[in-house]
């Protein structure tokens, strides 16, 4: 390992220790970083999506108008999406979301066999709006104009940070502090960003450039 790579490895270890504890540093230092992609691996660890154990989403009684039902045999996540839906909501958006509900989380996944948060958001945007987004949660920031929480509209993007204070997770805003995303523990599901883990990690709100 050359001196330059060693320097950056040690600097990254210090950052990891400062932000997420020395367990992360020990894990980093015990890993053999002799490949050409060493730097990519280090950066990936800093921006890694964290495992978040979530309870099943329980829709509020008045969040939908009761006119929509999930397909027979649909997942609990799909039933929750149908429960919050009303006639005034964006039909094309909800139709694009429904086939993805309940798909398991898979880091690097891009299909309905398994999908990560940024690939899921990207798939929905391509289907609903015909817009191609950047691939990673952090890079999707380049696709948006940042807005205030009070300006949120259906389909806007929410950005969340991990314990390293790096943007590592994205989701799509629906209504009433509810968003849809690919959760590391629950797959594609609904969650709220006004309480619990997501309230602590919400970072920014964005409207994709060119979205109508």
Nearest to 120 by CA among 70, 158, 74, 80: 158
Give the 3-state secondary structure of residue 157: strand
Give the 3-state secondary structure of residue 11: helix
Distance between CA atoms of 196 and 142, rounded to whole angstroms? 27
Q: Across the strands, what pairs with 145?
A: 207
Known catalytic membership, residue 169: yes
Give 62's contacts (C-beta < 8 A, 6+ positions apart): none
Give 163's contacts (C-beta < 8 A, 6+ positions apart): 19, 20, 50
Give 180's contacts (C-beta < 8 A, 6+ positions apart): 81, 97, 101, 171, 172, 174, 188, 189, 190, 191
Placement of tokens 């694009």 in the chain = 96
Known catalytic membership, residue 117: yes
Known catalytic membership, residue 22: no
Distance between CA atoms of 77 and 182, rounded to whole angstroms? 11
Cα dihedral: 67, 154, 49, 39 (round 10) = 140
Task: Enumerate the active-site residues.
Answer: 117, 169, 181
């Amino acid at each position: 390992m050359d001196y330059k790579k060693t320097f950056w490895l040690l600097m990254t270890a210090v950052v990891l220790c400062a932000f997420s504890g020395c367990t992360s540093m020990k894990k980093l230092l015990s890993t053999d970083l002799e490949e050409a992609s060493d730097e990519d691996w280090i950066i990936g660890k800093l921006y890694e999506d964290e495992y978040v154990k979530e309870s099943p989403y329980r829709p509020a009684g008045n969040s939908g108008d009761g006119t929509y039902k999930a397909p027979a045999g649909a997942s609990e996540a799909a039933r929750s999406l149908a429960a919050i839906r009303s006639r005034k909501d964006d039909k094309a958006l909800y139709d694009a979301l429904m086939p993805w509900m309940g798909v398991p989380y898979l880091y690097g996944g891009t299909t309905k066999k398994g999908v990560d948060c940024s690939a899921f958001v990207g798939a929905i945007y391509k289907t609903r709006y015909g817009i191609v987004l950047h691939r990673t949660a952090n890079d999707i920031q380049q696709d948006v104009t940042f807005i205030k929480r009070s300006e949120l509209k259906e389909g806007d993007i929410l950005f969340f940070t991990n314990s390293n204070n790096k943007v590592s997770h994205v989701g799509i805003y629906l209504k009433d502090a509810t968003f849809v995303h690919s959760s590391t523990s629950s797959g594609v599901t609904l969650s709220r960003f006004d309480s619990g883990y997501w309230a602590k990690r919400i970072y920014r709100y964005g409207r994709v450039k060119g979205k109508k």
